[in-house]
Structure 1
Amino acid sequence: MVARIVKDSYPGHTLSRPADWRQPFIFCCPHSGRDYPRKLLGLSPLPLETLRRSEDAYVDQLIPQMAQDLVPVLGASFPRLFVDVNRSPRELDPLLFSGPLDDASESRSNRVVAGFGVIPKLAADGRQIYPSRLPSSEAKSRLKHCYRPYHKALGGLIEEARRRFPSVLVVDWHSMPSSAGSSGRLPDIVLGDLHGASCTEEQASLWEDAFRAEDFTVTRNAPYAGGYVAAHYGRPADRVGVLQIEINRSLYMDERRVARGRDFAAFAARIENVIDRVLMLNAPAAVAAE
């Protein structure tokens, strides 16, 4: 499915739950939403194709049915440049809004200063999304109808998993550009664990080994160590880990056209092999915990 232009001013999220949740994982796709509200397109002079380059496009379609039968999968339907759920709700840019904001106490974070707060000011190519300031009521509405329901769903899944399993890992699926400016081409996969703070070494290594077994090049934490989800929910001492997975977009899509590549199905099969390997290796521990 490509992007949709929807009448709903504030699209929500999707949650796929298995009939029998047997593995201690929660899969999330926070940045692959492609339901674009008509009001957003009316506010921005940028064409839809330009706006879509901010997406982690089609990452949700890489999650195989096999995984959805075993673990819950949560995904944002709204695009990340409408609301970015991998940011703090306080990362609001006062210069983007007219009128007072309820709480913009993190308005000087590096992400806000760069133009990519919880409600981004810039598109992926650095252009202004909006030609003028938005009313502050718009920030409140987007947080109320998009941001908070997503995090309520995620928080609920985490608490349920803690009751079911000895520990849980939130796997936050993302994609990244194929290159990072002067740094050149990025690896196939970047795993972010906030330099060991958001999950255990055992959890991170399980996924790293599975990607390497499928002949992916893998690095950790550079240039993406993890965002708000990893920092807010990753508490290994409390049996909750978060691992951010960044996939190089050039492996499965046409970055310029924001279209699935000709080899999308073959690449999705490789991701399925990775997930299958992780779930199989983890199966004895999951069964023992029941």
Structure 2
Amino acid sequence: MEIVYAEMKILILLISIISIINQVNGQTTQCKDALKPWFDLTRVGIKISCFLNDGNILYARGQAAQDRGVFKATGSYSSVESIQEGCLGGKDQPFDINQTKPLFFDYSSFQIDSEGHVFMVPVGRPAVDVYVTECRGNIMVAFTTNGICTYHFSNKAYTNLGSESCQDPRNEPPVNQKAATFDTTLNSEWNENGKHYGMFSSIITNTGKVPFQGVVFSADLELRDPSSIYSAVAIVKGQWKLPSYVQSIQVGSTYHFSFIKEGKEIPTFRIDSFY
């Protein structure tokens, strides 16, 4: 009986370990997918926010340049903490911008690779050597022994904290760098059962800075019938997406589809989303 009980305990332990491994592997895959578009770029802006165990919050920002699959800091990343208080309007305020200080010594003090491995050596703080485990869009999260750190990726070239005046432009480009255009041509037209129809071809061009798998698009038009659009899949009336066999549309590449609709007017396609 004791032997059976011991074997059951070992089995439960093995199941728990396998479950944890599967969970970590899933998170790693998720983060790799989230990081992948950023590693198509050579330089990014990164905001770092760390919520420390003692209740202090640290914020820093700077730029990073890619070196063979690793983003490395290109500067010292000026930082400010919530415990650094200043007086504003006669009241104490956290994050006093006049008390900023460098977070890193040099480029080797902050690195993050395409696998999600983060290495940081903050000035005056313990080194951080972890993997990001929670990732959504352009935000990556890592759990450290001292707290939680988030890494917010952007295509903006961040300047040092405190170096911008209130009159400086803050035109941060959108994080989503995917973009596309539609070029539609009328190929032929005819009358059928008292209605005038046109045969059109359309070219989607990836004009963004990163590849995308597909695009959801819409237009105000009346197809001859629901099956009169080719190489595009209907979602609802007036909205379509690319077929599932399309794996990726690279930067500068094109995708062709065609359709038959009432009238000869060239429709205007709207991009609803990328995926």
TM-score range, shorter chain: under 0.3
Structure (1/2) with the larger helix percentage: 1
Structure (1/2) with the larger strand percentage: 2
Higher RCO structure (Cα 8 Å, ≥6 apart):
1
Q: Which TM-score applies when normalising by structure 2?
A: 0.26
